[in-house]
Amino acid sequence: MSKEKIILGIDPGTTIMGFGLIKVVGKTMHFLQLNELDLKKYDDHYLKLKLIFERTIELIDTHHPDEIAIEAPFFGKNVQSMLKLGRAQGVAMAAGLSREVPITEYSPKKIKMAITGNGNASKEQVAKMLQSLLSLKTLPKNLDATDGLAAAVCHFYNEGKIEVGKSYSGWDAFVKQNEDRVKK
């Protein structure tokens, strides 16, 4: 009997949060859903964070993922953008941790490499490869949703490999692995 599991992939953002779900049966992945949470119409950054948290909880409670794969913030020149992106990722992670769903972070390069074989691939190249891999009929207008799906597929491809990214099974594990960042 082959084991089944559901992986939720999240591309956090304060303008658009993309997400995708795959079901893994044995060694085969099946597409379940991809979508996005559009936050452009909201001006209040804290409201956006609340909505990201609530949508992530809703996804977890609806689909019961066994694992979450999340894209780690990339290092850019704009410190304010990095801070906002880190907060978006943090509240999505907090939602998963509050439901005790194991989380693994992947860098954007690692995700692109897993999907296309090229760590510098464009969003369009990643989306087209996912379309081919999962037999998607159409692609969304915004590619944040496919970026979320790509995180889930990357996690599937990296299962069982050592040192895939940072993984957290709950708050205790998160605190223990980040003791150097936590003020005592």
**Residues in binding site for Mg(2+):** 11, 71, 144
DSSP type of residue 121: -
Binding-site residues, in ranges, read 11, 71, 144
For residue 71, indicate whether it is catalytic.
yes
Query: DSSP characters for 137-154?
Result: S---SSTHHHHHHHHHHH
DSSP-assigned beta bridge partners for residue 71: 106
108: left (phi > 0), else alpha (psi -120 to 50), else beta? Answer: alpha
Copy the structure tokens of residue 30.
Answer: 């099946």
For residue 43, indicate whether it is catalytic.
no
- Residues 36, 71, 105, 147: which is the catalytic one? 71
- Residues 67, 105, 144, 147: which is the catalytic one? 144
For residue 66, indicate whether it is catalytic.
no
- Residues 11, 36, 67, 105: which is the catalytic one? 11
Known catalytic residues? 11, 71, 144
